[in-house]
Chain A
Amino acid sequence: GDSVTQMEGPVTLSEEAFLTINCTYTATGYPSLFWYVQYPGEGLQLLLKATKADDKGSNKGFEATYRKETTSFHLEKGSVQVSDSAVYFCALSDRSSNTGKLIFGQGTTLQVKP
């Protein structure tokens, strides 16, 4: 079945450091890919998405490119802030399954220190 694998955390960075959170996927169909962020005590917020190969999603300084050849959707940010501390989930939704089901990775906790 479809699956998403994220790098294990926690990831601890100093403010203004460069961030990469790796995400790879396995899917039999043509997935859309998402990054969601969950701040402490809150629900999930959509951070960015990409619906086809070579699409780049971006928001709030975060970027991720849909790479079909490497089945990856790595999240990057050039300069992190303390306020970026949160749990980040990579997810896919398979268009061919007709279920609307999101498949999540295990989540990566990011802690940014001042």
Chain B
Amino acid sequence: DTEVTQTPKHLVMGMTNKKSLKCEQHMGHRAMYWYKQKAKKPPELMFVYSYEKLSINESVPSRFSPECPNSSLLNLHLHALQPEDSALYLCASSQDRVAPDTQYFGPGTRLTVL
């Protein structure tokens, strides 16, 4: 099974709200990723977690705060977002980060910031 699940599927939030996106995988993968995808563009890497530790932050604004509570879960906490942050947020996982391996993506959360 190569399933990555994400909740919620859709999210609408105001600029003063605080919300969280959730990602889960049960494949025993030790690397997890957050991507942001704007319409008609490829995904852009935001964060990489390896063995539950943040290993890469692609200069993402602090209004996005990732968290990896355990090896199966990845959260993205959102606060004081801007309308330009509206996008599809994709989570992915892979067996490992050090030996580049296949990344498996979830269905994404479509975020709208009003």
Contacts and interface: CB of A to CB of B under 8 A. Distances in A.
A complexed with B: yes
Interface of A: 32, 34, 36, 42-46, 49, 87, 89, 91, 93-95, 97-102, 104-107, 109
A89 B44 CA distance: 13
Interface of B: 2, 6, 31, 33, 40-43, 45, 48, 50, 55-56, 88, 90, 92, 94, 96-108
A100 B42 contact: no
B105 A44 contact: yes
A24 B105 CA distance: 23
Contacts of B97: 98-100
- What is the interface of chain A mostly: helix, strand, loop, or mixed? strand
Contacts, number: 68
Nearest to B58: A101
A98 B50 CA distance: 11
A87 B90 CA distance: 16
A101 B45 contact: yes
Contacts of A36: 105
B98 A42 contact: no
B33 to A, nearest CB: 7
B56 A101 contact: yes
B51 to A, nearest CB: 12
